[in-house]
Amino acid sequence: MSVDPQVILLTGCASGIGQHLAGAFAQRGWLVMATDVAMGRLEEACRTGGWPSDRVVTRALDVRDRAAWAEVLAATEDLLGPPDVLLHVAGYLSPGYIAECDPMDIDRHLSINAAGVMQGTRVVLPGMIERERGHIVVVGSLAGIAPVPGIALYSASKFAVRGFTLALAEEVRPRGVAVSLISPDAVETPMLDLQVHREEAAMTFSGARPLRVEDIERAVFDTVLPHRPVELTLPGHRGWLARVGGAVPGLSRGIGPLVRAVGRHRQRRYRRGGR
């Protein structure tokens, strides 16, 4: 089941998952509002990616700023049309143990990862409800299902995202709007690269291999858009492990040292380029 090209508003498009998805949507004929707080890098991504100017518009957006969200929505409606899909990708991660972290990172994680999703959804959602159609897609993390020591702030922010998204899905389902949460394992992006030399982040690397942005692309176009699941975990088996770890903290405590040891080994291998 395919989805005909529509209008999409995307965040976090200057790098990583958001950059790749912006190009993927444009290639499929969608009209794309690609946004990021780093406008210079966003414009460079647009140039190097060859995003077609007749289908892609770029705008600066700090997802924490509700007024900026309103401006971007107005520009989307004016230049492309009302968004059929809102896809939240923008995120922030700074690894570190809580006792040693920068106190400002508490606000950064929660305001960008969680409040940013909430602010943007609050701005875009009324129009979707009025039209009785629309799809809000949020990129979460398996760290929002099972707590991950060493990136506790990121994990906490993604727990908030998951709770918000799952509750929102039930609120708006009777009003014609779908909500989907994609919860992937580690993905090969700049966000993963910044963890590779940090011992605290060893558990991030405990999977057999990091996902690639192409894996997220396939999930979006093959599953999320056509079938609109409330939650999709990637890969599926890691999703089940995360659910068990989140539901039974005592079990996680027991196997944590083993998972961390595996993560350290694979982190070193990733650092050497053995991906």
Q: Which residues are catalytic?
A: 154
Rounded Cα gap, residues 23 and 81, in angstroms: 19
CA neighbor of 143 nearest in space, from 55, 203, 58, 65: 203
Would you say 109 and 94 are in contact if contact means Cβ atoms under 8 Å apart?
A: yes
Residue 271, Cα to own-chain centre: how many angstroms? 24
Straight-line distance from the first to the last Cα atom of the chain, in angstroms, rounded to the nearest whole number: 33
Q: CA separation (Å) from 272 to 119, 149, 196, 258?
A: 40, 24, 10, 22
* Dihedral Cα 113, 64, 121, 13, nearest 10 deg: -70
CA neighbor of 89 nearest in space, from 272, 219, 269: 219
- Which two tokens mark 151? 């990136």
Rounded Cα gap, residues 52 and 259, in angstroms: 44
